[in-house]
Amino acid sequence: MLIFAGLGNPGAQYARHRHNVGFMAVDAIAERFGFGPERARFQALAREGFIEAGGVHHKVLILKPQTFMNESGQAVGEAARFYKLAEEDVIIFYDEIDLAPGKIRVRTGGGTAGHNGIRSVKAHLGEDFRRVRIGVGHPGQKSRVQGHVLSDFSKAEREQWLDELLDAIARAAPYLTIGEDTAFMSEVARLAPPPETPKPAPESGEEGEA
């Protein structure tokens, strides 16, 4: 069994925020593979289903923590302990300001780069979970980071790359279930090439936060 956890903030007012792209990604996966209805579990909204890869149906629990971003790890840790899962069986989908819009990177372990949701997951689970980092771009100045991630994707962003990217993440998800993270990244890039827009350079020596 695997956990696919998207990070975000609960509530309709946050639903279209860049900070909620993790929620958007796991919703797209659940819809594509016909997961069951959402229900409240583990301080989160949870859906269960199966993703076929390599002739095997892999059971996946999708989680959207409802504790707000800064306490996301409570739900993830609780679910992982309940199912007695190893850290590498947990995959976190979240926004990354240090990646250009539409780019995807997957890695295991590492730091938090100022992301409070990842900091919380690390505190409750450990650091060797897998991470799907979804680029939302950097606004160029540290003082603008919070406003950037806590604002809606524009209509142009949704039409130019976001909707296509979310669909590509869902279509490529079977690779994640069998540990083929590089193949996942390649397939997403093939299905949804990132837009050719320059990434503003952050101020020297700064990391994103929010």
CA distances, 4 to each of 28, 77, 151 (Å):
12, 12, 24
Report the C-alpha gap between 89 and 190 in whole angstroms.
25
Distance set, CA 41 to CA 12, 105, 210 (Å): 19, 29, 26
Identify whether 17 is a catalytic site residue.
Answer: no
Question: Which candidate in 17, 19, 115, 138 is catalytic?
Answer: 19
**Residues whose CB falls within 8 Å of the CB of residue 57, separated by 6 or more in sequence, listed in order:** 50, 51
What is the b/e burial string over 176-209, where b = at least 16 CB atoms within 10 angstroms of the residue's CB? bbeebbeebbebbbeebebbeeeeeebeeeeebe
Tokens of 171: 């279509």
Q: Could you list the active site residues?
A: 19
